[in-house]
Amino acid sequence: MTHVQQLVIGMLLDDAAAGIARWMAALVSLVVLALFVAVIIPIAVIAAPKVAPVRATTQQGGVDRPPPPAAIEPQPPPSSSRPVDVALRFLGVRYVFGGTDPASGLDCSGLVQLVFRQLGVALPRTAQMQYDATARLKQDELQPGDLVFFARTYADPRDWITHVGIYIGGGQQINAPTEGQVVSIQPVFSGFWGAHFAAGGRVPHP
């Protein structure tokens, strides 16, 4: 074998060895990639921290709050005609400011207190106190037996509500109106009383 032949054979062997080395390197890279896809990525996904979903907020400031409670509706009167029936017994009793005895005279809140006391319901003494002790009603919610309240029917330094009557339906009330008059049926929403009408009130059940 000549020297030239030996050089050619050596070069071929070197090229073969380099090719084998490159092939082995490529094989190792493929094995590493396969391991990364098959093992490393699933482990990373499992170990990743769980992020809680963002909750929708219902109020300003990003705080989730329950809805406000529904407004409490006034209860229907237990027997709406009973206060009216009792009040009718006192028609014609004269008005006396501060009066609580039908034998001597009644004022407006004295009449209301007396009527409901006979039905087993204790109400406070003045029109303002009775207003504060009852559930508010709009005009179209009134039923017979409810109370009707009036504001500033006379100057009072302490109370805003100064008169009360018992609603009998049809826009009418039984009340003890003022000095020189008697317990009688009068309109609620017209005339003097209509100009001073404030609200209705429902007496709580006994």
What is the per-residue pLDDT for 94? 98
- The 3-state DSSP class for residue 84 equals helix
**CATH fold of the domain at 81-202:** endopeptidase fold (from Nostoc punctiforme) (3.90.1720)
Q: What is the pTM of this model?
A: 0.62
What is the per-residue pLDDT for 133? 97
Q: Residue 34: what are its φ and ψ, rounded to 5°?
A: -65, -40
The percentage of the chain sitting over the pLDDT mark of 70, rounded to a whole number, equals 61
Q: Is residue 42 pLDDT above 60, yes or no?
A: no
Highest mean pLDDT among 43-47, 67-71, 155-159: 155-159
- The 3-state DSSP class for residue 202 equals strand
CA dihedral 23, 29, 35, 40 (to 10 degrees): 180
What is the per-residue pLDDT for 175? 97
What is the full DSSP assignment across 123-182? --SSHHHHHHTSEEE-GGG--TT-EEEEE-SS--SS-SEEEEEEEEETTEEEE--STT-B
What are the distances in angstroms from CA 120 to CA 50, 124, 164, 202, 205?
64, 13, 19, 15, 10
Residues serving a catalytic function are 108, 163, 175
What is the per-residue pLDDT for 12? 52
Residues in Cβ contact with 92 at an 8 Å cutoff, skipping those fewer than 6 apart:
182, 183, 184
Question: What is the rounded distance in angstroms from the CA atom of residue 105 to the CA atom of residue 107?
Answer: 7
State the chain's mean pLDDT as an integer: 79
Highest mean pLDDT among 14-28, 32-46, 176-190: 176-190
What is the per-residue pLDDT for 57? 34
Arithmetic mean of pLDDT, 27-47? 56
Residue bearing tokens 């501060």: 98
Arithmetic mean of pLDDT, 187-193? 97
pLDDT: is 176 or 204 the higher one? Answer: 176
Among 72, 82, 156, residue whose Cα is nearest residue 116: 82
Query: Which pLDDT band, with edges at 50, 70 and 90, does 66 fall under?
Result: very low
Among 84, 77, 92, residue whose Cα is nearest residue 177: 92
Q: Is residue 39 pLDDT above 80, yes or no?
A: no
